[in-house]
Homo-oligomer: A and B are copies of this chain.
Amino acid sequence: MSKIQSKLNIIPLGGLGEIGKNMTVFRYGDDIILVDAGLMFPEDDMLGIDLVIPDITYLVENKDKVKAIFLTHGHEDHIGALPYVMKQIGAPVYGTALTLGILQGRLKENGVSSEACKIIKPGDKIYAGNFKVEFIRVNHSIPDAVALAIHTPIGIIIHTGDFKFDQTPVDGQVTEFNKFAEFGDQGVLALMADSTNAERPGYTQSEKIVGQTFDDEFRYAKNRIIVATFSSNVHRIQQVVDSAVRYKRKVAVIGRSMVNVVNISMELGYLKIPEGVLIDIDESNNYTPDKIVIITTGSQGEPMSALTRMAMSDHKKVDIVPGDTVIISATPIPGNEKLVSRTIDHLYKLGADVIYEKSNGVHVSGHASQEEIKMMHNLVRPKFFIPVHGEYRHLIKHAQLAGSLGMPRENIVVGENGSIIELTRNSIGINGRVPSGKVLVDGLGVGDVGNIVLRDRRQLSQDGIMIVVVTIDKDTCTVVSGPDIVSRGFVYVREAEGLMETAKEKVQQALDKCEQSNVSEWSVIKSAVRDSLGRFLYEKTRRRPMILPIIMEI
């Protein structure tokens, strides 16, 4: 074995220093495998952007080396970039049945074939070049999540994916603690583990807790019950169904993604709904309100979602009426707090009783808290440690937790997206970088919106635009028409006629000056107009609209 081949490179392309777009490359010699390919939702300042995916330049440049893609579970932040990745990378994609079921819907929407998808289950082993990957069942807020044991020529890497230790999972399928322990016995070179809740002391509660809350609410609710949650949380949906059955209510499902996931999960056997319980929303009028439960999307206050439409009295099929109980079984994802809060207020105004995060037991996290994280470390007992999946501060806290368990500081690497983390049997360190970053998806455009476009959108969003058009005779350099001024998003013109008139005069003065000094370069004229008008508007309004002079030549 040559010297180069005794090194393993781990290259995170997403998920480090951020919550979302998780994606990790493993490279040994000329063999590459990829773990997950997630998307991220845009930051507030990415105006008009639909979603964000990792920069995969490195993968595309090495596409012939990519032997396989492995998926840990079916959440958007782990599979959402695949429609884009699979268009460029031809490798087989391995995931559990539910993961691939959800993925196939996404692929279809994007016109990508799902031929490359291969179903695996916990315990399976897949060979991919120099790698052998083994799947270990873990608990998370979606069924069928797995961790990976990646056998490499220099040792075993354990990648936890997203996980929690649920001692009483809804489907009875406990995390395979024994597998982690066995790998620990064999010796693990490095652990890569979920850092999302590394700030949270103690243990994350069991999903079962939420079922008990549902039971309590269902027992006392006198009218209709509406439950909003994440569509991918199939166990949560199962618990709503179970409570409905127990309290003799019918269940209607609304919201596009909720209907999709419920259908897939029933087909694949992850969701069990007894005959006759599920009804169409249109049939719900045949029952008294105390016999109905509606399961819906919208737990994040998303403007177009079913629950938000209900709250705004804008849903085609469901009107909220006094006496309804609405359970928002979720916690707002950072950035969504205000949307959720607005939804709650509107529901209250319509007379609903709203049960939300401030109540205990209405939601539990899908990620391990500090004690579970420590337990994972103590089961796996790795030589080296790389915290993954988290904002920078989560990674740091996770590194500190590992330190508190006795791992030497030099055995821990807190990387960044694009870092080439180099491992040998005896060492770990960062050795260079590959291209990495955020690729913005806006409509059909992937990566065509860059910093300049975003900067323009930001300026337009703040103070609008003012367009100045003049037609100039290019032979005589004299103005033959205009200047005309049109503004949008600056000020309501009917209320600012005086301002617009004076603005026009300012432009005229600037043009006259140019004419007097025989300026014939359009760019000089444009910047004279921009400066003079900009100064005038700022003085009068303290606003800085984008000023766009356009010269038409005849």
Contacts and interface: CB of A to CB of B under 8 A. Distances in A.
Interface in A458-499: 458, 460-465, 467, 469-471, 480-482, 484, 486, 488-492, 495-496
B482 A460 contact: no
A489 B47 CA distance: 9
A171 B519 CA distance: 69
A345 B17 contact: yes
Interface stretch (A281-289, A317-325, A536-544): A536-544
Interface size class of A (residues with CB under 8 A): 35 or more
A393 B345 contact: yes
A400 to B, nearest CB: 10
A48 B348 CA distance: 30
Contacts of A531: none
A452 interface: yes
A405 B200 CA distance: 36
Contact of A448 (B444, B465, B495): B495
A221 interface: no
B444 A542 contact: yes
A449 interface: yes
A391 interface: yes
Interface stretch (A92-100, A292-300, A331-339, A374-382): A331-339
B392 A48 contact: no
A445 B543 CA distance: 9
Given A453-B491, A467-B548, A345 B392 contact: yes
A199 interface: yes
B554 A444 contact: no
A48 to B, nearest CB: 4
Interface in A323-355: 334-335, 337-338, 341, 344-345, 348-349, 354
A453 B492 contact: yes
A195 to B, nearest CB: 13
Given A448-B492, A492-B452, A464 B471 contact: no
Interface in A432-459: 442-445, 448-450, 452-454, 456-458
A460 B471 contact: no
Contacts of A348: 392-393, 396
A488 B457 CA distance: 8
B481 A552 contact: yes
A503 to B, nearest CB: 14
Interface in A490-520: 490-492, 495-496
A553 interface: yes
Interface string A29-49: 000000000000001100110
Contacts of A344: 391, 393
Given A481-B552, A492-B448, A543 B461 contact: no
A335 B492 CA distance: 28
B338 A334 contact: yes
Interface in A354-413: 354, 358, 391-393, 396
A116 interface: no
Interface of A: 17, 43-44, 47-48, 199-200, 334-335, 337-338, 341, 344-345, 348-349, 354, 358, 391-393, 396, 442-445, 448-450, 452-454, 456-458, 460-465, 467, 469-471, 480-482, 484, 486, 488-492, 495-496, 540-543, 546, 548, 550, 552-554
Given A444-B541, A454-B489, 20 more contacts: A47-B461, A47-B462, A334-B337, A334-B338, A335-B338, A345-B393, A442-B543, A445-B541, A449-B492, A456-B488, A456-B489, A457-B461, A457-B462, A467-B467, A471-B552, A480-B554, A481-B553, A482-B552, A486-B548, A486-B550
24 contacts: A47-B462, A48-B461, A48-B543, A334-B337, A341-B391, A348-B392, A442-B463, A442-B543, A445-B491, A449-B491, A449-B492, A452-B492, A453-B489, A456-B464, A456-B488, A458-B461, A460-B461, A465-B488, A469-B550, A471-B471, A481-B554, A484-B552, A488-B548, A550-B550
